[in-house]
Amino acid sequence: MKRIAVFASGNGTNLQAIMDAISRGALKADLALVVSDKRRALALKRAARRGVKTLLLDPKDFGNRRDYDAALLGFLKKENIDVVVLAGFMRILSPLFVRAYKNRILNIHPALLPAFPGDSAIKDAHRYGVKVTGVTVHFVDEKVDHGPIIVQVSLPVRDAETLEDLEKRIHEAEHAIYPQAIASVLAGEAVLKGRRVLRRRKKS
């Protein structure tokens, strides 16, 4: 069974969805480590309640991003981590880190990439007045919100919908789609060919 590490900076609702999927058998993975860069991240408490090993790595203790990521890699190597899952991790990973886990880092983004990259995607899409937005799960490469797309789900934006209502529906979609996408990658069903991710059916 693949050993995964989840990186989260905040509340950890996507982490919770991943842990719940593992508990009910929908996601076959060994959640070996939860990493955060924020001391007060609720994600760390969620993991601890489930008995999952946690790691707080404060960027203030490091001189630069490369040193931080080198330390991260050391911990991941020690824990024999196969795949890294970003779940609201608000730090940009260095090329050093991305190359070490090439095509083995997943991220979820609350918009239909390449539209609305960045950390205010839901607000940007709502403000722009789009009729359709959604969620993207993608592999991480050395550019921000740029890697090959694993799966996307679209959501129509309702007339007169508030930003808060849209955020709620986007997050609900994230919680549904992310464990499924992770499962497909771990099972070898998502095959990367250039920038395209092809779905390979499991042999019966």
Pairing mode, strands 30-36 and 105-109: unpaired
Tell me: pLDDT of 37 over 70: yes
- Mean per-residue pLDDT of the chain: 96
Please give the distance of CA 48 from its chain centroid, rounded to a whole number: 19
DSSP state of 120: T
- All structural domains of the chain with their residue ranges: 3-199
Q: Please tell me the pTM assigned to this model.
A: 0.94
What's the CA gap between 153 and 144, in Å, rounded?
A: 20
Tell me what the mean pLDDT of segment 85-106 comes to.
96
% residues pLDDT > 90 (the chain): 94
Tell me: pLDDT of 202 over 70: no
| 62 — pLDDT class (breaks 50, 70, 90) | very high
Note the helical H segments in 153-200. 163-186
Catalytic-labelled residue, pool 109, 126, 138, 175: 109
Q: Which fold has domain 3-199?
A: Rossmann fold (3.40.50)
The predicted-structure confidence for 104-161, as pLDDT tens digits, reads as follows 999 999 999 999 999 999 999 999 999 999 999 999 999 999 999 999 999 999 999 9
109 an active-site residue?
yes
